[in-house]
Copies of this chain bind each other. A is one copy, B any other.
């Protein structure tokens, strides 16, 4: 393989640039030529493809977002879309592709591979909820940003004796809520993977201000449960009479200079993706398991360790979905006062 391309797809995550840089530098080091594709699969189909040299990715390592930009492009799920993309690759002599993004992006990588263009997926999302890896690029930075924000709100919570319900990103997974909540000493953490009873939530707040003279209270809420404003309404209905505020950390969690851990892991994964392409392999997703690199077939049987299988009816089964750290949820209950 002498010529490869790299794209970022799905929601942007800090560290994507580090992964792109690693793909470019490693490939050049191995004697290959590298192309960047702007705006994910949309740019592939539109031919928004340009050569990248080692110099072009200097100074990208410490920048958030993705300099290749990203875009949703559901049309790539169709055969027509895929063929249009492949035509663009062919015209430039590109033989393999590295795709940095989420589960959705992996499906495109699978299709490219099936069409004879080996493609490798790298997990990039702040949510840490991708199958086949303990760790996704961007997660550590998002936890860092969330923790810093929680530390700040804690100042006001203490100064004014207020209860804050703070919403953090995480549509399906409570990982950001759990890690940042433990790190910031949250009193309660509410995640989609665990049941909760709003009366217990309120009882715990009341225990603080009625029995312990403790008027501050921090509740970290994962977006996947509900919005903070709604949660605050439920608490009021359930009898909470503390000075109660809702706040949503929102989009700040997705940007910012990537943490060292995100930069290192992204670099490591990016270089490995190139090694797999060099071996002529495709249809794989890179991951980290037990602090070592692993790769899994994107599509196949559970026995082969594939991330996804197809049912007879054509439905998609996630063989080994990301699991919530319920032990961490329990840990926080042990440490909250």
Q: Which of B62, B145, B156, B264 makes the CB contact (< 8 A) with A251? A: B156
Question: How far, in angstroms, from A170 to B332 measured CA to CA in the complex?
Answer: 32
Contacts of A148 in B (CB 8 A): 256
Bound form: Cα–Cα A25–B14 in Å: 29
Per-residue CB proximity of A256-280 to B under 8 Å, as 1/0? Answer: 1101110110011001000000000
* Cβ distance A209 to chain B, nearest Cβ, rounded Å: 14
B255 and A156 within 8 A (CB): yes
How far apart are A332's CB and chain B's nearest CB, in angstroms? 8
Quick one: which of A160, A184, A252, A291 has the most chain B CB within 10 A? Answer: A252
A175 to B334, CA, bound (A): 32
B156–A264 CB distance below 8 A = no
Count A-side interface residues using an 8 Å CB cutoff.
76
| Contact A160 B291, beta carbon cutoff 8 Å | no
A194-209 CB contacts (< 8 Å) to partner B: none
Nearest CB in chain B to that of A215: its residue: B69
Residues from 120 to 135 in A contacting B, C-beta threshold 8 Å:
134
Which residues from B are CB-within-8-Å of A155?
12, 14, 63-65, 254-256
CA distance A25 to B336 in the complex (A): 8
CB distance from A94 to the nearest CB of B (A): 21
Tell me whether A115 is interfacial, beta carbon within 8 Å. no
Question: Are the C-beta atoms of A144 and B255 separated by less than 8 Å?
Answer: no
Q: Decide if A136 is an interface residue (CB 8 Å cutoff).
A: no
A250 CA to B150 CA, complexed, in Å: 12
Q: Does A248 count as interface, using CB distance less than 8 angstroms?
A: yes
Contacts of A249 in B (CB 8 A): 252
Given contacts A182-B264, A291-B291, contact A159 B62 (CB under 8 A): no
Which residues from chain B contact A290 at a C-beta distance below 8 Å? 290-291
> Could you tell me which residues of chain A, from 53 to 93, have a CB within 8 Å of some CB in chain B?
54-55, 58-59, 61-66, 69-71
Contact A264:B334 (CB < 8 A) given known A153-B255, A155-B256: no
Is A294 an interface position by the 8 A CB rule? no
Chain B residues closer than 8 Å to A12, beta-carbon distance: 155-156, 159-160
The 9 closest A-B pairs by CB, nearest first: A152-B255, A65-B155, A155-B255, A64-B155, A290-B290, A12-B159, A183-B260, A65-B159, A183-B263
A183-B263, A268-B331, A290-B290 known; 16 other A-B pairs, CB under 8 Å? A12-B156, A25-B335, A39-B161, A61-B184, A65-B158, A145-B152, A146-B260, A155-B254, A156-B251, A164-B251, A179-B261, A179-B264, A264-B328, A267-B331, A271-B335, A290-B291
